[in-house]
A and B are shown apart, each in its own frame.
Chain A
Amino acid sequence: MENLKPIVLIDDDIDYIDLMAEAYGTLSHKNKLLVFHDSIKAYNYLIENDVIPFLVISDIIMPKMNGFELRENVQANPKFSSHVVPFVFITGAAELPHDGHDHLTENGFFEKRADFEELRSTLNNIINYWDSAVMR
């Protein structure tokens, strides 16, 4: 893959993020994985470092700063003003926005898969999709 910028995973559920990292490890993608349990730490890292991720995959409901707030804060930061970073949400269905417009102005929502094979294939598909999209 030509694009080797890191992939950022954010979820306060440590078990689930471990599962995602394990699933990612079985795929052929070579992007470095940056994993955060705490959205504030993720935000600080993204703002303070030179890193522009290829893709952010984030939980929605998290303490302190939720997934939507994280995306808004990251995108509002001048460092990201000239970069288009896809921001994909993973969630339980109950957390989805009710307004159709909100769905159409986000990069996509995906259900948290408990089945390892389904999780692998969903992750792989998300990465391939944004890798082939022209965003950068």
Chain B
Amino acid sequence: MNSRGEIIIVDDDTDDLEILKEVYSTLPFENRLVVFNDGEDAYHYLKTPEAYPFLIISDINMPKMNGFELRDKVLSDAGISNRIIPFVFISTCANRTMMKTYCSNSFHGYFEKKSDFTEMTEMLDNIIRYWKNAVPAD
């Protein structure tokens, strides 16, 4: 894991991306924030050998390549998965049954987007701290 690498946020909703950027700017972390409007663009970026982000936070419902498909691609590509980049889902669509069916226990968590700015800030702070604490550290 590269705890000093970029934090990648993938979301087709431009308003949500703006909110997330604003939320992130209030947090004390120094990681560069890189945002993508769709899964395909994010995947192309991740495939480049020099890309070694710290964390990927992805929306689920997106056109072209959705969040699940993006995660599958990341997991099945050893070049990316060996870099050990935590992959967290964030979505407004709280379809828990779908999540359970998709990943059982084996994933990094699914978080609901909050409409309250303070709650959203706490949630993002929690997510980043968790993976900063996790091993292997770089």
Contacts and interface: CB of A to CB of B under 8 A. Distances in A.
A93 B136 contact: yes
A69 interface: no
Contacts of B84: 100, 103-104
B83 A107 contact: no
Contact of B94 (A96, A122, A128, A134): A134
B75 A101 contact: yes
Contact of B75 (A87, A104, A107, A111): A104
A86 interface: yes
Chain A contact residues: helix, strand, loop or mixed: mixed
Interface string A65-78: 00000010001000
B75 A134 contact: no
A36 interface: no
Contact count band on A: 20 to 34
A64 interface: no
Interface in A92-135: 93, 96, 99-101, 103-111, 122, 125-126, 128-130, 132-135
Contact of A93 (B108, B126, B127, B135): B135
Contacts of B115: none
A96 B84 CA distance: 12
Interface in B46-88: 74-75, 78, 81-87
B80 to A, nearest CB: 8
Contacts of B74: 104
Nearest to A71: B105
B130 A108 contact: yes
Contact of B96 (A104, A130, A132, A134): A134
B33 to A, nearest CB: 20
B105 A87 contact: yes
Interface of A: 71, 75, 82, 84-87, 91, 93, 96, 99-101, 103-111, 122, 125-126, 128-130, 132-136
23 contacts: A75-B105, A84-B100, A85-B105, A87-B105, A100-B81, A100-B82, A103-B136, A104-B81, A104-B86, A104-B108, A108-B130, A109-B136, A110-B135, A111-B137, A125-B126, A126-B133, A129-B130, A132-B126, A133-B109, A134-B94, A134-B112, A135-B109, A136-B96
